[in-house]
Amino acid sequence: MANLKEIRNRITSVSSTMQITSAMKMVSAAKLKKAQDAITAMRPYAEKLTELLQSLSATMDGEVGGDFTAQREINKVLVVAVTSNRGLCGAFNTNVIKQTKAIADSYAGKKVDVFSIGKKGGDVLKKTNTVIASHNSIYDNLTFDAVAEIANELTEMFTSGEYDKIEIVYNQFKNAATQIVQTEQFLPLAPVASETAVAAGDYLFEPSKEEIVLTLIPKSLKTQLYKAIRDSFASEHGARMTAMHKATDNATELRDQLKLTYNKARQAAITNEILEIVGGAEALKG
């Protein structure tokens, strides 16, 4: 059995860790509320914008998306991996990294590069894949304008022919305890089924439908990426809050066990001292 000093040191260490994990849990819980409100408020807009774009596109003949809908032979693929800058959030980053590697493996014989958003994903993926760019500071100022610049950069890579397909991998926020890894095709735009079309006579368009669609596509792409990063941001705080809650519970349990061990060791030491005193007294009498 460890001596009393060692047990006391372990109790102190575990108690300090418990204070840290508890504080991190409370910080993430406070940030989660704001991030959750942001993504919840944004989803209806993003979904309605996509629905409007699909409805307009489906009523039009021919290719209306220009370079955004170009279906080319897939030789070069870019995977946008959205992770966090910090750890201690359970399997949040690991799940995105695994999915990114799985996508890269699925394109056997093709060139697959990674576009990293978040330090944790970039640090791991650069060991096994080619990371062409890293945007780690986006979370310092997570605004639509900041994300729009990244979306423009990705769009330029596709329209210039540098990549034939771009996919996004991120954690979709469901609740504080559940994050779902999602893979979405960013470019080219997926073809829309004609049954989703709105009858042409239902609306009068000004300007023309073609101009409206070509204006909506870049905005829709920026919104899609912004929603993905917002989802990931909320998921990060939910995952960290859950992980720190479990860590605090484990630390509390370990501390209680150590205190019990300490008390047992202390009682055993006192009993031994009493036995030694009694034995010494008996020896003096003899």
Please state, in angstroms and rounded to a whole number, the distance separating the CA atoms of residues 269 and 274: 9
Q: Which of 56, 64, 89, 96 is catalytic?
A: 89
Give the dihedral sign, CA 11/14/17/23.
Answer: negative
Active site residue 105: no
Residues ≥6 apart with Cβ < 8 Å to 168? 79, 80, 82, 182, 183, 184, 185, 186, 224, 225, 228
- Which residues carry out catalysis? 89
